[in-house]
Structure 1
Amino acid sequence: MNNFTKAGSGYKCFSTFIPPYVLDSMAKAGIKEAKSTIIQSQYFRENRAENSKKMGLLGAVVPAGRAYVQVFDSQNTQDFQKELKRDQEKKPTPTGDEAVDLTYDYVSKDRDCLKNELNRNSLDNNGMDLICNVHYGENYGNAFWYNGQITLGDGDGEIFTNFAKSLDVIAHELGHGIVENTAKLVYQDQSGALNEHFADVFGTVITQWVENHDADHADWLIGDEIMGADLYGEALRCMSEPGTAYDNKLLGKDPQPAHMKNIYTGTGDNGGVHINSGIMNKAFYLTAVEIETNQAARIWYNALLNLWPTANFKEAFGEIVKAAQILAKNNSVDRDAPQRVRAAFREVGLS
């Protein structure tokens, strides 16, 4: 089923952090959590119109343009904005609920990183409020971005822990919000893989900024913090070595390619949106280790601002090179950044 809906001039993306092929593998292995998550996600899709109405109408009224952070407790239902727990103005005090407080802190740091590193005022660059739902569903083993807010499940504690524990998961989902407010990349085939790729870029860039890591000391893993006891040491994606994030009887084997010669051409996963993002992720990693993550982030971000909904990998590569040239000329990145970018893309089969 396609995970996007027409929304005015672009698309509203319903992007789940755990890919469908991973949930299918878990379901085949008899994991009840996976079956429950699939059912709850299906319920969301089938009731998307009603959910959109709820997500747009509920919640506390907050002055526009302030990039306020709000965290709501779904109380293990599939309701959105059910009970306001943290609010930057009205309820700034920690609650003692780990999911609520971690989400509030991580989203606040995400907003601050965007402002300090990219001079971006929230996800829409106009101070939009950052709305979050935690404790969604019953043992819901996923997280998603939809209709201007992120939603996080608790997991079952064995396979996946609470998704609020992962800064890069939260930054990844908010990254989809940036894509939705810029290029509006259609969530299908290569444009969809670019959507996932840019969300991963924001995930790792913000995590490295918060943890004060450079490219050489970052782990380049996405989603390793949500792995429960049964999956300790695994992750959902590895940007430095796509295809190596996991290999076990529960999740299956990581199918991400690191080179265009191995690109997935099937119809699953909306044409490989989670799978093929590994190729672009590898190119970003290779660039970052040469010129540092903060410079690579500036280049990719400026390229994103000039992309369009149906852009493919080759077109994105072209815009990334152009962004590197402009920023190098303005002394915003190293002078040799364009050559470093081209070399990175050659290594993944794009030139």
Structure 2
Amino acid sequence: FRQNKDGAFTWGYGQRYVKYDLMGREIWNRRLPISYNDFSHSLDPAQNGHFFLRVASSNVKLANGQNVRTVRDVIAEVDHDGYVVDEFRLFDILDPYRSDVIKALDQGAVCLNIDASKAGKTLSEEDIRKLNESDHYGDIAGTGIGRNWAHVNSVDYDPTDDSIIISSRHQSAIIKIGRDKKVKWILGAPRGWKGEFAGKVLKPVDHQGKPIACTDATCEGGFDWTWTQHTAFRIDAKSKPGVVYLTAFDNGDARGMEQPALPEMKYSRAVVYKVDEKAGTVEQVWTFGEERGHDWFSPVTSLTEYHADKNSIFVYSATAGASFDIKTGAFTSAPNPYMMEFNWGEKEPAVEMRVESTTGYQAMPIDLKAAFEK
């Protein structure tokens, strides 16, 4: 769900995307445009009046002659009337065979669901090879077109240069792509990015602009990239041409391209970055979550978002506190998500709420005045 500037709400489900007001009155309800399928995760009401839908392609012919549906790797741009004006086919733009993150993922939480029976298990290079040699396609973690290699869970439009910023969970990367379908920059660990992509990876710096010492998966000085993240949103009120502030929820699975010795060592973060596009650098401006430890860890879903009216960061750790029966894969206790709001730059929340025994993909404040003005 996203609240639009007119106060109404847009969202999608399955093969439809819709717009309703707060009282549930339909404004429009549309099928996905022909050639697309399987909406999920993200519908961005952009500043140019269009909508960016995270969908998939209904039919792509592979080199072996087989036709497949792709998985969570296409962005369709539609105008106000629902006509497609552009598309971003990420399997053509990025490298669908980059497997470094895929091999490090906890297979118990790779998609929309959590399968505790696979908790802690990862894919090997041999597993990936066998999968690529098979005709097994669909919503499964793997590489190549027709598998869940990208798992894009947010898209946000940048009006200053007519670009989009995407969050790719299964690449543990936040990526900016121009209208020309060229990658502008990659915010993520350098490991596995080859050729022209390697030169697009942002270099971490401290608040004084000095380089931070990093390996291809870890950094010193408290800086970290995001891992299996959600909601990479541009902070419009603080960004300007060439300088992008953005928020993200760093879920934290496969942190450092590995699984920790103990599951209880996993943690999530809310984080704010500053990207200097000309210099090709990224600064970690603010982060919260590591100090809360595993109790605050959300393996999937969640949100971090800036709100200009309060100059604040709203954070939703959606699946924190869940526990499972390893043998059956069933919840033994439901998640107890945290909702927090931080004044800009502060480390202690101004508001903190915990909702017991429930879950949700995202949460956000609603502007009631805007919702009822019209």
Structure 1 and Structure 2 fold alike (TM over 0.5): no
Between Structure 1 and Structure 2, the one with more helix by share is: 1
Larger Rg: 2
When you count strand as a share of all residues, which structure comes out higher? 2
Coarse TM-score class (shorter-chain normalised)? 0.3 to 0.5
**Taking structure 2 as the reference length, what is the TM-score of the superposition?**
0.33
Instruction: Considering Cα pairs closer than 8 Å and 6+ residues apart, tell me whether 1 or 2 has the greater RCO.
Output: 1
TM-score, normalised to structure 1, is: 0.34
